Structure formats: C-alpha cells, structure tokens
Structure 1
Amino acid sequence: MKNQQLKWFYLVSLALLWGSSFILIKRGLIGLSPLQLGSFRVALTAVVLIVIGFKKVGQIKKKQWKWIGISGFIGSLFPTYLFAYAETEIDSAVAAILNSTVPLLALIVGLFLFGTVFIKKQFIGVVVGLIGSIGLILAGASLNPDQNYWFGVLPVIASLMYAFNANIIKSFLGGISALGIATGSFIILFFPSMAVLYFTGFFNEAFLAQEEVQTSLLYVGVLAILGTALAKIIFNRLIQLSDPVFSTSVTYLIPVVALFWGVLDGEEFDLLQLAAGGIILVGVYLSNKKKRVKTNA
C-alpha cells in the first residue's frame, strides 16, 4: 500500500478507534466506578506501552522527567477520570463532541501562556466552537432533563488539560519520540493507578467474581489496548507519513463515529444537538485553517 493510501487508512482507523472509545467507557461503567474504570484503563495501557516502547524511554533526559510526569497526569490520568465521571450523567456521543474542543482550547492556552499567535479567522473559530459547546450542553439538558448536564463541563475541563498537554509537549519535550513520551508518562501513571484500584476494592475476589464486573473489564481492556495504546502508535505513524494538519483532521471524524455508536445504543440525539455539534466542528475547522506561528516571547 502506497503512503498516500496508507495515511488515509490510518486516519480512518484512528477515527474508528477513538470514536469508539466513548461507548466502551459507557459499557465499562456498568460494573465499574469511574475511578476503577480510569485506573484499570491506565494501568493496562502502561503494561502494553512498556512492552512496546520501553527502549524509547532512554531518549528522556533527567531534567525532562518532570514534564513527562506532568504530561502524563494532565494528558492521560485526570482526563480519563473526568470522561468516565461525565458519562455517568451525559450520553457518550455528547462527550465525544465536547472532546472536539481540544484544538480550540489549545489555541487559547498557546496564546496566553506559551506565546503563540493566531489570526482573525482562528479567533473566530475559537468563539464559534465555544458557542457550539455551550449550545450542545443546553440542548442536551432540554432533551434529557433527567440527566445532570453540569457534568458536560467535565469533558471540557479534560479537553483543556489536553490543550495544556499539547503545548507542554511542544515546548519542553522536543527530541523525544511520541512513543517515548507516552511510555515514560504511563510508567509514572502505573503506580498511582494501581493505588487507586487497591483503595477502591478492585482486587477483592468477590468483586472480581461478579459477571457484570468481568464484562466491564472486557470492554475497558479493549479500550486500553485498542483505543489508547494502539491508537497512540497509529497516530505517531500518521504524523510521520503526513503532516500535523492532516493528522489532526481526525478531530472531525471522531464525533461521527461516536454518534453512530450512541444512536445504536439507544441514546437520544435531536437536530438541535446535531446543529450544536456542527457549530463546534466549524469552529475547529476555522481555528486550524491557518498554521500557528510561535513568537519569541
């Protein structure tokens, strides 16, 4: 398969993997608490990445381990918990669409804290995207009054953490492969995630013997291996074959896949929510229309 065809194959594969993550979280919550789900996902991902990418850890310099740790906590561990808690109250498709605000928030964080600048169209994109996010939460609240749509703020907070993480990697972790960064950060995260599992009674034999717990573990296992570990490897390869603009276009496809799974799972989704989701995607498109330029400030 030629590189031109291969990059499209990777893009679609990545959209399917990441877009399916939200329904897997929903299924995993049937037998696990948000803390247990997030911790098991992180611990299993750590084991997989250590096996695959341990040699890459040698690229990390001693002074960079601080940023590797920060990247791990705000780029993986905390968002994993936030999305799990969010899906106890809001639909998986809504959480996926709110996750697409990452490029918009990265633009804002980069502007105010990392010295990046953007043009007028990008500013408009940020405003449009955030308006769409608010509209999506309000539309969902009216459609599903029994759900607590204040929990819709949690994916936005997680997306903000992703935005900080993207700028940290760009500013402080240059020269390290993406697999090296991921492996190093998950080595650090393995220990707190195991501690959380222990203190939440995860290792209790009676708990693990429950059928719904075992089913949930299966879903989260698929999520960790395919939706986290494998997806990171594919994304790294996609960047090598294409460019950042093409690679981040996966943002437009993830909500489509998540919406498909949500509808199949019986989630209600009306035209108002669809319109709000469309507004977010327009904002993402505008904010990425021009390449950002980093200043010397």
Structure 2
Amino acid sequence: MTKKNAAVNPLISWALLIFLSIIWGSSFILIKKGLIVYSAGEVGALRILSASLVLAPFTIKMFRVLSKKDLWLLFISGVVGSMVPAFLFAIAQTQLQSSITGILNALTPFFVLIMGALFFHQKLVRSKVVGLAMGFIGTTILMLAGSEGSIGNINFFAFFVVGATICYGINVNLIKSFLHHLKPIEITSVSLLLSSPITIIYLFIFSDFVPKTLREEGALLALTFLLILGIVGTAFALIYFNKLIQLTNAVFASTVTYIIPIIAIAWGLIDGEILLIGHYIGIFIIIAGVYITNKRIH
C-alpha cells in the first residue's frame, strides 16, 4: 500500500498543481466578465461573500474552540488577505487587461519576503534581493509598455494590483507567525466568514447589486461568472492549495506562481487582448525574478 501511495501521490500533486493554475489563472478573465455588469466594489464583495457562504458549514463549529485572539487575527487575515485584494484586483481591471493583472499577480512572492523582512524579522539574502530588484524592473516595464515613454500614459492602475500583492505578503507572514497552530481549513473558512459582514453591508445597502441583478441584460451570466470566481476560484482553490502543500511542500506549491501568468495570458489573447513586445519583456523579467527569489541555496 505504501508503494502504491508513493506512486499515486506525485500524480495527485501534479494534478492539483495544474488544476490550481487553471483556476487561479482564469480568475482574471472571470473578473473581467463580471465587470461588464457590476462595479468593481460589487465584484469584490460578491467574490468574498460567495466564498464565505460555501465554506460556512465548516466554520460554525470552529467558533467554540477558537480563542478571542485567534478570532481577531483571523478577522484581520480575512480583511487583509482576501477582502481588500478582491476589491483591489477588481478596481485594477476596470483599466487594466486581465492578462497583465495575472502577470502582476506573480509579484506576491516578492512581497512575502519584503513584508517578512520589514515586520516579521525575516532575513533577506543577496540572491533574494537580486530577484526582488528584477521583479520591480519587470513591473516598471509592464507599466511603461504602450506608453511610448510618456509618464502621463503609464497605466497607474497597476498599483492596485501591487497593493493586492502587498496584502498577500502581509497575510502569509501573519499566518506563518501567529496562526500556524490552526488547520488550513480553519484559517480559510473562519477568516472569510468573519470578513463577510462587510461585504453584505456593502452589497445590499451601499451598492446597486440587487437592481442590476434583477433588471440589467446579461446580469445573470455575469453573476454566474462571479459565483464561479468566489466558490471555485477562492473557496475551493484555497483548500486544494493547502492540500497541495500537505502532499508536497511550499517550494513545489509555489510553482503555481509561474503557471498562473501563462493561463491569464492565454485567456486574455483568446478574449482579444493585445500584448506588446514590452509586455513580454516585463513578463520574462518578473518570472526570472520569481525563480531567483524562490531558488534554494545549498
């Protein structure tokens, strides 16, 4: 039985990796389709609310065993690590191609390191600093691509994606430092549920979500895309990602960082988006920077 499991596990691991890459790489085109009808705020709020509701059955019983400190930290994790990025990605894509957003998402490992060094007493070695520098050079090239060198034509909406990846960097270090004693399903489901009241208030009090859904043409299709984004691309994907880490290790799981931009680019090109030579140069430099940053020194 042990030999059989040893043979099956690599196949399961690679299947999960490919599945996650497709799901997360497709999330940017789903955001784009949701924005056809809904505002950026409505897209972000619906994404988090649908994810939290589908995981709610796993969550309720956990409140009895979690301490107040854990609950506060999980609330912060839900807001910083899930809700705020969901809003920022949606805002960015009102003026940014989905493919470019997917590429910039690869900055996440950089900010995990930077936030760890700044606030969580993590050390940076020289090779990682080189990787970080390459990541930011690639980002600058992406922002300048198509601007013909004019600062006024730079797409500053890329900074919303940068802000989202900063949030991811803070959240990863927060979980690693203060919530490592909890199971992945506990962290994911409770943090999402604790942040969901904010999205409910926004959707049903401060937005036109209900009238749009009932009256606007194409609203049901857009809503379907966003439900897939929340349920599959956020809730289930986080569970499978944590499972992947358990089956393998964080280094193997981080390979998803390299594949997500490829999927995002493919969907963008299929949807008629155009990438210039500057975009491809920026992509190459960012991915190379991620590789150097994640490379282990022996």
Counterpart of 1:170 in structure 2 is 176
> How far off its partner does 1:60 sit?
2.9
Counterpart of 1:284 in structure 2 is 290
Residue 130 (str. 1) matches residue 136 (str. 2) = yes
- Residue of 34, 39, 60 corresponding to 2:40: 34
- Residue of 246, 249, 272 corresponding to 2:278: 272
Cα distance in 1, alignment partners of residues 103 and 216 from structure 2: 33
Query: What amino acid is aligned across from residue 263 of structure 1 in structure 2?
Result: L
Report if aligned partners of 1:44, 1:224 keep a CA contact under 8 Å in 2: yes
> How far off its partner does 1:137 sit?
1.0
- Correspondences of 1:20-99 after superposition (within 5 Å): 20-56=26-62, 60-99=66-105
Report if aligned partners of 1:86, 1:155 keep a CA contact under 8 Å in 2: yes
Counterpart of 1:10 in structure 2 is 16
> How far off its partner does 1:118 sit?
2.3
- Residue of 155, 159, 167 corresponding to 1:153: 159
Residue 202 (str. 1) matches residue 216 (str. 2) = no
Counterpart of 2:224 in structure 1 is 218
Cα distance in 2, alignment partners of residues 266 and 141 from structure 1: 20
Cα distance in 2, alignment partners of residues 97 and 280 from structure 1: 8
Shifted more, 133-142 versus 192-201: the winner is 133-142
Cα distance in 1, alignment partners of residues 62 and 15 from structure 2: 26
> How far off its partner does 1:49 sit?
1.1
- Residue of 185, 195, 198 corresponding to 1:179: 185
> How far off its partner does 1:61 sit?
2.2
Report if aligned partners of 2:51, 2:231 keep a CA contact under 8 Å in 1: yes
Query: Over residues 89-145 of structure 1, what are the superposed CA-to-partner deviations in whole Å (9 max), with x where a residue is unaligned?
Result: 0100101111100101111111121111122111100111111111111114449x9
Taking structure 2 as the reference length, what is the TM-score of the superposition?
0.92
Residue 117 (str. 1) matches residue 123 (str. 2) = yes
Alpha-carbon spacing, 1:80–1:61, altered in 2? closer, same or farther (3 Å): same
Query: Over residues 60-109 of structure 1, what are the superposed CA-to-partner deviations in whole Å (9 max), with x where a residue is unaligned?
Result: 32211111111111111111011001000010010111110010111111
Alpha-carbon spacing, 1:56–1:251, altered in 2? closer, same or farther (3 Å): farther
Cα distance in 1, alignment partners of residues 118 and 282 from structure 2: 27
Cα distance in 2, alignment partners of residues 53 and 140 from structure 1: 46
- Residue of 239, 246, 254 corresponding to 2:260: 254
Identical amino acids, percent of aligned pairs: 36
Report if aligned partners of 2:138, 2:282 keep a CA contact under 8 Å in 1: yes
Query: What amino acid is aligned across from residue 109 of structure 2 in structure 1?
Result: P
> How far off its partner does 1:207 sit?
4.6
Cα distance in 2, alignment partners of residues 240 and 55 from structure 1: 23
Unaligned runs of 5+ in 1: 292-297
Report if aligned partners of 2:104, 2:162 keep a CA contact under 8 Å in 1: yes
Cα distance in 2, alignment partners of residues 51 and 141 from structure 1: 49
Query: What amino acid is aligned across from residue 254 of structure 2 in structure 1?
Result: T
> How far off its partner does 1:55 sit?
4.3
> How far off its partner does 1:268 sit?
0.5
Report if aligned partners of 1:57, 1:180 keep a CA contact under 8 Å in 2: no
RMSD after superposition: 2.0
> How far off its partner does 1:51 sit?
2.5
Alpha-carbon spacing, 1:53–1:12, altered in 2? closer, same or farther (3 Å): farther
- Residue of 247, 250, 256 corresponding to 1:244: 250
Cα distance in 2, alignment partners of residues 246 and 87 from structure 1: 29
Query: What amino acid is aligned across from residue 176 of structure 1 in structure 2?
Result: L
Counterpart of 2:3 in structure 1 is none
Query: Over residues 138-174 of structure 1, what are the superposed CA-to-partner deviations in whole Å (9 max), with x where a residue is unaligned?
Result: 114449x998711011000100010001110111111
SS at match of 1:136: helix
Query: What amino acid is aligned across from residue 185 of structure 2 in structure 1?
Result: L
Query: Over residues 233-288 of structure 1, what are the superposed CA-to-partner deviations in whole Å (9 max), with x where a residue is unaligned?
Result: 11011011000000011000000000000000000112221111110011111111
Query: What amino acid is aligned across from residue 152 of structure 1 in structure 2?
Result: A
